[in-house]
């Protein structure tokens, strides 16, 4: 497994990755001693964590399964079609990100004949099913 820590220094981001959690903790401990005001985030790109029950993504924030936290997703500088987690860099096209934030669209036909699209925990009505005329 891989354990990482990301440091935000101004607009730059530095990431350090370790193969053991003990080494990461030791490193973070030392950094905290030297620079008590430095903000850093710990994440694990090899083990996704599920979103809390009933989680609904917000306008600019989604559940990041690798940070195990709600994170801001920003436009990816390589391809602006995608958004990436501002800390660990995972994209919104990743299977686990899509799963936890319900980014797949599903079409639902309700009993009273409505057609709805459900995506990102939100439901949108798109029309009524045509009634079969007999
Ligand atoms: Zn992340």
> What is the mean pLDDT of the segment spanning 13-34?
92
Between 92-96, 113-117, 120-124, the lowest mean confidence (pLDDT) is in 120-124
CA of 88 to the centre of ligand 1 (A): 4
Torsion of CA 120, 123, 124, 128, to 10 degrees: 140
pLDDT of residue 134: 56
CA of 28 to the centre of ligand 1 (A): 18
User: What residues does 102 pair with on adjacent strands?
Assistant: none
Between 16-20, 33-37, 78-82, 119-123, the lowest mean confidence (pLDDT) is in 119-123
pLDDT of residue 1: 86
CA of 126 to the centre of ligand 1 (A): 33
pLDDT of residue 66: 96
pLDDT of residue 12: 84
pLDDT of residue 10: 80
pLDDT beyond 70 at 80: yes
Distance CA 121, CA 98 (A): 11
pLDDT of residue 131: 65
Distance CA 5, CA 134 (A): 65
Distance CA 69, CA 50 (A): 10
CA of 134 to the centre of ligand 1 (A): 55
Angle at the Cα of 1 from the Cα atoms of 53 and 65, rounded to 5 degrees = 25
Handedness of CA 47, 51, 53, 54 (dihedral sign): negative
pLDDT band at 72 (very low <50, low <70, confident <90, very high): very high
pLDDT of residue 133: 58
> What is the mean pLDDT of the segment spanning 91-112?
89
99 three-class SS: helix
CA of 132 to the centre of ligand 1 (A): 48
Higher pLDDT, 122 or 5: 5
């Amino acid at each position: 497994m891989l354990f990482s820590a990301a440091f935000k220094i101004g607009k730059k981001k530095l990431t350090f990755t370790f193969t053991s959690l003990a080494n990461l903790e030791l490193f973070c401990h030392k950094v905290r001693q030297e620079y008590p005001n430095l903000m850093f985030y710990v994440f694990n790109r090899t083990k996704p964590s599920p979103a809390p029950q009933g989680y609904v993504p917000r306008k600019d924030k989604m559940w990041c399964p690798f940070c195990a936290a709600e994170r801001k997703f920003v436009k990816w500088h390589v391809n602006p079609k995608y958004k990436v987690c501002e800390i660990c860099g995972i994209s919104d096209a990743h299977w686990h990100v899509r799963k936890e934030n319900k980014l797949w669209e599903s079409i639902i036909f309700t009993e009273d004949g409505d057609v709805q699209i459900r995506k990102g925990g939100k439901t949108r009505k798109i029309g009524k099913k045509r009634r079969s005329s007999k």
